[in-house]
Every structure is written in structure tokens, then in C-alpha cells.
Amino acid sequence: MAERKYLIAGNWKMNLDVKSAAELARGVVARAARFRNVEIVVCPSPVLIPAVAKILEGSNVGLGGQDVSVQVSGAYTGETSADQLLSAGCGYVIVGHSERREYHFESDELVNGKVKRALASGLVPIFCVGEKLAERKAGKTFERIDRQVRVGLSGLDAAAMATVVIAYEPVWAIGTGEVATPEQAEEVHEFIRGVLKSMFGAEVAAATRILYGGSVKAENARDLMGRPDVDGALVGGASLKADSFGGIIEGTGV
Ligand code: PEP
């Protein structure tokens, strides 16, 4: 089986200011230093990226954006381009987060455009998928995930897929304190790997990292990441404290 390095990414969302983000970044750098076999990333708001980038310099903590424009550049007020993220020191970008899908009406097709735009600039997309509670209750989880993955990654070839990271984030578990059980997470991760296999072949499917996101904490991280198809975590709330984020990194057990 392909070696998949754990990836732990913190989504700081619209929290912190320049001073508190710098403090948190220092704390993460200190706790991350001994984990050389885990990829660690933090994703601050665009305005905080320059201050955080300075602190991450020379560390083993990577930097990512929380969203990216589908456009290259120009008159798109309020948007941030992939090249701007790259030039500010980002190597990653979250794409298709459920909060973008919900509050900004991002469709699977738009998310696909953003994945491609990120890749074209050399950023690693952390491509998010996940069902809503009503979809899970209606037995439509796999149908929803299947569409999100197939449309979100359509038009990519195996070489492009080599850099894409997928995050399975059940919407009902984000910020709610209600975490998917390790069995629920594994079941969907395994399903996603099957979809990847049918789209890109067995080798790509085995090599692609699939993160779990949704109320991950130090206390539940180890069980989740102990599952064979769970390759790390996308963390919201618990990434805002260096100790809890550090505890989640520790949960990789490597
Ligand atoms: C997220 O928003 O990506 C997330 C997983 O949030 P939380 O950890 O707070 O549920």
C-alpha cells in the first residue's frame, strides 16, 4: 500500500487578530517541531497571513488559505487569488469548505474550478466534501459524497491528483461538538477511496490523503486517525489553542 503521510491542518476561520494569530503561530511552531513525519498546516484569514508567514519561516509548519478565487486576477472585489496566496507564502488552500458552500452558495462546479485554479498556481488544494444531517438521515450520504467528489475533481488527471488532499467533513459534525464515530468516518473514507479508484485508478486512490474534519479534539483524534483510511484531520475550533492542536498532532501516533 502507498505510504501516506498524516496531515493535520488547522482552519482558523474568521478568528484572531494580528497579535493573537502571531502568538498562536508561535505556540504551534513550538509544539510541531518534534513531529517530522507529520505534515502540519495552519490556515489563517488572508489579512493575517503575512504576520503568520514570518513566524512559520524555517519551521515545519506550512501555511494555507481558507478559500481561493476561481478567477486569475482583476476586478473581483474581496477575492484572493491563488497567485496572491502563493506569493504570501501559502502552499495549501482549503477549497469547498461547507461554510463556503452554505453561506456563499458555492456549487460543486465552482469548487471544481477553484481546485483547478489552485493546482494551476502550484497550491495543494484541501478539497472538502461532506453531507448534511438531513442527507444522512435520508440515507443519501454516499450519493451526495459521490457527486461532490466526481464533480469537484472532474477534469483532473492522475498527475494533478497526486497533490490533492481530500477532507471528509460531515456538516452535522462541524463546530457542533458531535463527532462522527471512527466507524462512520472510516466507512465514508473507504467509499471516497473507491470513487477515486474508479476515476483515477488504484494507484492514485491508494496514495491520496483523506482527512477527517468535524469536532476533532485531542481526546478523539487517536481513535479517528487509527482507522486505515483516515490520513489526518482538518480542525476548526480545536486549532485555535496551541495545546489542543498539539494534542491532535500527537494523536497521529507517529
Ligand atoms: C472545520 O470547519 O473545518 C471544522 C472541522 O471545524 P470544527 O473542528 O470546529 O468542527
pLDDT at position 177: 86
Q: What is d(CA 38, CA 81) in angstroms, rounded to the nearest whole number? A: 28
Give catalytic residues, as residue numbers.
97, 169
Q: pLDDT tens across 52-80, in order?
A: 999 999 999 999 999 999 999 999 999 99
Residue to mutate (ligand 1; options 98, 166, 235, 239; most atoms within 8 A of CB): 235
The pLDDT assigned to 2 comes to 63
Look up the pTM and report it.
Answer: 0.97
Residue 178, pLDDT score: 86
SS3 42: strand
How far apart (Å, rounded) are the C-alpha atoms in residues 28 and 244? 10
Q: pLDDT at position 171, please?
A: 95
CA distance 107 to 182: 28
Q: Report CA 145 to chain centroid distance, whole Å.
A: 16
For residue 154, which amino acid is it?
A: S
What pLDDT score does 59 carry?
98
Q: Which atom of ligand 1 is nearest to the CA of 238?
A: 8
Q: What does each C-alpha distance from 160 to 148, 153, 164, 192 come to in angstroms?
A: 18, 10, 7, 17
Determine if ligand 1 sits within 6 Å of the CB of residue 213: yes
Q: Which residues are 93's β-sheet partners?
A: 65, 125
* Cα of 53 from ligand 1 centre, angstroms: 22
- Regions of the chain where pLDDT drops below 70: 1-2
Give yes or no for residue 248 CB within 6 A of ligand 1.
no
